[in-house]
Structure 1
Amino acid sequence: MSDEEAARFGVSLADRRLYVRMDSGKVNITPPAASAKWFKLTSVALHNGNDLYPDGDNVQTIEQWFPPETWEGLTDDLVNRILNDIDAGMPDGERYSDAGAAKARAAWKVVQKHVSKKSDQQCRDIIATWVKNRVLLKETYHSPVTRKDREGLHVDDMKRPGQVT
């Protein structure tokens, strides 16, 4: 598992060596990481201990592993609470941002506040999807902190989950 895949699936860098994926040998038809067949190496005790070697042997085997789904567990109600927080902006009047370099204004952190089990990358992917689908709109606003025009995120209420268009 690559560093990028580990980040996307919320697997620690120390544990990523335990995960392997099975792909076709033909590189140009390899499925994306999320749709590949994944396996996790696990240790199995053989219970063959004796007086000389009381713990016995362990062997490595694999079990199928399913990467966490990015959208799993996100109900309409939860999504709307996340969108409400993003649309409200920050307490100092700043708007959240989808920019990769955003730190304090990073919108993905709002997602993670509501669904803490999602990895940073999954939260970033959720924000990117909402921007792509225009659920979140980038609009220019006047920053009360920097006193300059900046780009920030607003919610298109007509594209919220549960809205009939």
Structure 2
Amino acid sequence: MKWTVKTFEQLSIQELYEIMSLRVEVFVVEQECPYQELDGKDQEAYHLLGRKNGELVAYSRLFKRGKAAKDASIGRVIVKESVRKEGIGKALLTESIAYLEKQLQENVIVIHAQLYLQEFYQSFGFKPISDVYLLDGIHHLDMRRRGSDE
């Protein structure tokens, strides 16, 4: 796996197309969830791209505190269906947390987690901070992780 992080301005047109294609493939088509994919937040995000043999197979959107939420946050966490069960999801979250903590000096991270992934996120130190709620027809809950400095 090759991991890279880019700001919106650093993304090539091809990379942006690959990101949007993967996000629609997973969230809109696979999860049958019509929602406003282009939400105006990509311009404020750091984009973590994970490539396997040159193909974009993992992605997350990272925000410094105050950009998408009060705290730093991770969103649009995706692993392409064809490579799930290979540990790429764990690697993606590890890379996401490491970038926020080491590069952006963020110690508190929130995530709007799909409910079925609660245990996965808890294994990384995230704890529920909200009740379960429906977002775009999918059960979610908010979770927070406090780094070692907190």
TM range (shorter): under 0.3
State TM-score, norm by structure 2: 0.24
The structure number with the bigger radius of gyration is 1
State TM-score, norm by structure 1: 0.23
